[in-house]
């Protein structure tokens, strides 16, 4: 094991898969000459050539459509959409084509395409550049939506996504690229499945159900809660479609309490969906209503102080946990 960044882990995943399989290509805006908007693809064009690492004109719709068509005809494209905010311009091809063709064409085609895109706020990028939007895609049957929080998961899941025969959205987070974590040494092959969550910290009093960058906020909160005698289990879903529901339910069975934590908007968002699933299948295990920590229900503001107030912090999580969890005596 060694320590590396989320960014490098993603790049390694692509490099290894491109070495392994000639059919893997990367297309997207500014992935080559610019060096990658978040420098994830840096160096890959030099290594694999500009046939396989292709800068596109600035046009998300055709990037997505061409990626889907390429996937249907033998390539294994990884399409980078510069940020999820711009994916709305590609949403028709993702939702109306990628998610549906296998089904509507009677199973005659696979669509082994990967869409990589960063989401999220927190860098003062304003209303049009700070959205999560994962819910839009997670709602759609035919897609897989993967949102890793650590370098280990990012690498392992991107490798799985590239090998997967179905369309996968790998949603990264703009503030995670510099995050460091343990990753097996180069050459030590591993993948992470696209249908399994992961307990990132064990606990007994309350279950924090979360994904993407919020995982780190939850770990921070769990640490703080531990000092106050509350033992929080952190369940990192890692993928929200499919969702590893049993992992969540088993945890809730043990803790009898849950708080769902996400960065995105609250209403009709992924978190409400997760909460509804826990209620539906785990109603009797719950001793209290599920807590829910989310971003504020507003477009993202630019000003530093407003933005700070707009997104959830570990303090919000601590407060939400305390609201539903009695501190056990004697601890």
Partner 1 sequence: MVIRDLTLAGLNKEQLLNLHYTMLLMRHFEEKAAEGYTLGKIGGFLHLYTGQEAVGSGVNLALEPNDVVISSYREHGHALAKGVDPNALMAELYGRASGVSKGRGGSMHIFSKEHKLFGGYAIVAAQLPIACGYALSAKLLKENFVTVVYFGDGAVDEGAFHEALNLATVWQLPVVFVCENNLYSMGMAVERAWAVSSLEPRAKAYAMDFEQVNGMNALDVFQAAQKAVKRARETSRPTLIEAKTYRFRGHSMADPTAYRSKEEAEQWRQTSDPIVLFENALREAGIANTEDFKKNDDRALQIAAKAVEFADSSPLPDLQSLTEDIMVDPTGAIAWRRPR
DSSP 215-273: HHHHHHHHHHHHHTT--EEEEE-SEEETT-HHHHHHHHHHHS-EEEEEEEESTTSHHHH
Plot region of 35 (φ>0 → left; ψ -120 to 50 → alpha; else → beta): left
The residue (of 219 and 235) whose beta carbon lies closer to a second copy is 235
> Is residue 22 annotated as a catalytic residue, yes or no?
no
For residue 235, state whether it binds partner 1 (rule: CB under 8 A): no
State how far the Cα of 164 lies from the Cα of 144, in Å rounded to an integer. 10
Ramachandran angles phi, psi of 98, nearest 5°? -50, -45
Of the pair 78, 270, the CB lying nearest a second copy is at 270
Please confirm, yes or no, whether 60 is among the known catalytic residues: yes
Q: Is the dihedral of CA 19, 22, 26, 31 positive or negative?
A: positive
Binding flag, residue 249, ligand TPP (CB under 6 A): no
| 3-state secondary structure string across 295-319 | ECCCCCCCCHHHHHHHCCCHHHHHH
For 25, list phi and psi in degrees, rounded to 5: -130, 165
Q: 108 vs 329, which CB is nearer to a second copy? A: 108
In the range 30-59, which residues lie near partner 1 by CB under 8 A?
A: 30, 32-35, 37, 51-52, 54-59
| 272 near partner 1, judged by CB under 8 A | no
Name the pairing type of β-strands 258-265 and 168-173: unpaired
Among 232, 270, 310, 320, binds partner 1 (CB under 8 A): 310
Burial of 139 (0-12, 13-18, 19+ CB in 10 A): middle
Residue 123 CB, nearest distance to partner 1 (Å)? Answer: 6
What distance in Å separates the CA atoms of residue 249 and residue 270, rounded to the nearest whole number? 17
Tell me if 58 contacts ligand TPP by CB under 6 A.
yes
CB of 20 to a second copy, least distance (A): 31
Length of the chain: 331
Give the burial string for 226-254 (b: 16+ CB within 10 Å, else e): eeeebbbbbbbbbbbbebbbebbbbbbee
140 binds ligand TPP (CB under 6 A): no
65, 148, 181, 203: residue in contact with partner 1 (rule CB under 8 A):
65
Span from 86-94, 184-192, 225-233, 313-321 in contact with partner 1 (CB under 8 A): 86-94
Binding partner of 35, given partner 1, ligand TPP, a second copy, none, CB within 5-8 angstroms per partner class: partner 1
Could you tell which of partner 1, a second copy, ligand TPP, none binds residue 144, using a CB distance below 5 to 8 A set by kind? partner 1
Active-site entry in 8, 60, 174, 233: 60
Given the rule CB under 6 A, which residues bind ligand TPP? 29, 58, 60, 82, 86, 89
* Residues acting as catalytic residues: 60, 129
Given the rule CB under 8 A, which residues bind a second copy? 85-86, 88-89, 91-92, 95-96, 99-100, 103-104, 126-128, 135-136, 138-142, 240-241, 243, 265, 267-273, 275-277, 279-280, 283, 289-290, 292, 297-299, 301-302
């Amino acid at each position: 094991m060694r320590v590396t960044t989320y960014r490098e882990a993603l790049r390694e995943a692509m490099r290894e898969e491109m070495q392994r399989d000639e059919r893997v290509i990367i297309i997207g805006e500014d992935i080559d000459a610019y060096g990658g908007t978040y420098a994830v693809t840096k160096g890959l064009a030099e290594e694999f050539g500009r046939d396989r690492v292709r800068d596109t004109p600035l046009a998300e719709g055709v990037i997505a459509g061409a990626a889907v068509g390429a996937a249907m005809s033998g390539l294994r494209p990884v399409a980078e959409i510069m940020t999820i905010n711009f994916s709305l311009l590609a949403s028709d091809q993702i939702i109306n084509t990628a998610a549906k063709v296998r089904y509507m064409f009677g199973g005659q085609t696979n669509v082994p395409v990967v869409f990589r895109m960063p989401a999220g706020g927190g860098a003062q990028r304003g209303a049009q550049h700070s959205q999560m939007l994962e819910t839009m895609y997670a709602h759609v049957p035919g897609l897989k939506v993967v949102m890793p929080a650590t370098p280990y998961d990012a690498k392992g899941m991107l490798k799985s996504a590239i090998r997967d025969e179905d369309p996968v959205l790998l949603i990264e987070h703009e503030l995670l690229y510099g995050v460091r974590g343990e990753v097996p040494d180069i050459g030590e092959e591993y993948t992470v499945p696209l249908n399994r969550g992961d307990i990132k910290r064990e606990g007994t009093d309350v279950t924090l159900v979360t994904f993407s960058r919020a995982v780190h906020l939850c770990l921070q909160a769990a640490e703080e809660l531990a000092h106050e005698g509350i033992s929080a289990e952190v369940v990192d879903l890692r993928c929200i479609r499919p969702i590893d529901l049993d992992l969540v339910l088993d945890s809730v069975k043990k803790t009898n309490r849950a708080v769902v934590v996400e960065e995105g908007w609250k209403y009709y968002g992924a978190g409400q969906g997760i909460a509804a699933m826990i209620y539906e299948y785990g109603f009797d295990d719950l001793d209290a209503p599920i807590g829910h920590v989310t971003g504020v229900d507003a477009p993202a503001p630019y000003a530093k102080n407003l933005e700070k107030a707009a997104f959830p912090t570990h303090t919000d999580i601590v407060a939400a946990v305390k609201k539903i969890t009695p501190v056990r005596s004697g601890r």
